[in-house]
Amino acid sequence: METMLRWERKTLTDPLFFDNDCLSAFLWVGKEGLLHKLYPGRLILPTPVYTELSFDNPRIRELRNRIDIMINNGQFIKEDIIVGTEEYDLYVKLTTQPENNHAIIGKGEAAAITLAKIEGGIVASNNLSDVLVYTQELNLKHTTTGMIMVEALYQQFISETEGNAIWASMLKKKRKLGASTFSEYLSRNAKLILKH
């Protein structure tokens, strides 16, 4: 429920800071172009997430090549976390010694949270077990692959049938989306659509 409320608060200018799982859901199925259609000029790739896509694995290399094209075309902006800054201090805290007995989180998730906090943006992550507690505590807006797909439907970039096909492809790539079909996701989150 909290996630839906945060999704509804998005504005047309907030940057989206992606972690690996949310971005990869689109990259694995060749639908990263939807992101640019929906959020032109607002797509931010934290450098630690880019690093995660840079492992020397032929399957991962294909994803990195696609994101490199988007960076070179100005569709994604790669953003560093600079040592000695407020964002660096928060990033180190989240990845080494989080407060309130929270678990240490991955570098990609921490970078997305940190940059969204400092720059006033939206965290784009499917990893709710790691990210949700921080987005709530830090009062950050949050979106997921499912919410982005709903936005694509609402903006008429995809139909529900196309959404189901994309969803099925994402599930085949072992993406965790919270529902077995896009239609099921829509049904479970009817309030999210009606209030948008």
User: What pLDDT band is residue 98 in, cutting at 50, 70 and 90?
Assistant: confident
Which residues neighbour 38 within 8 Å (Cβ) at sequence distance 6 or greater?
148, 151, 152, 155, 157
Q: How far apart are CA 145 and CA 125, in angstroms?
A: 7
Q: Is 73 exposed, middle or buried (0-12, 13-18, 19+ CB in 10 A)?
A: exposed
**Interval 43-54: pLDDT, tens:** 999 999 999 887
- What is the per-residue pLDDT across 140-196, written as a single tens digit (0 to 9) for each? 999 999 999 999 999 999 999 999 999 999 999 988 898 999 999 998 876 655 444
Percent of the chain with pLDDT over 90: 68
pLDDT digits (tens, 9 = 90+) for 15-60: 999 999 999 999 999 999 999 999 999 999 999 999 988 776 677 8
Three-class SS state of 80 = coil
CA nearest to 149, candidates 163, 168, 169, 128: 163
Q: Diameter of the chain by CA atoms?
A: 48
- What's the CA gap between 16 and 195, in Å, rounded? 21
Domains and CATH numbers, the chain: 2-145 (3.40.50.1010)
pLDDT computed for residue 2 by the predictor: 34
Prediction pTM value: 0.87
The pLDDT value recorded for residue 143 is 94
- Cα–Cα distance measured from residue 129 to residue 131, given in angstroms and rounded to the nearest whole number: 6
**pLDDT of 10 strictly over 60:** no
91-99 — which CB contacts under 8 Å span 24+ positions?
94/134
Given this model, what pLDDT does residue 142 score?
Answer: 93
**Residue scoring higher pLDDT (100 or 150):** 150
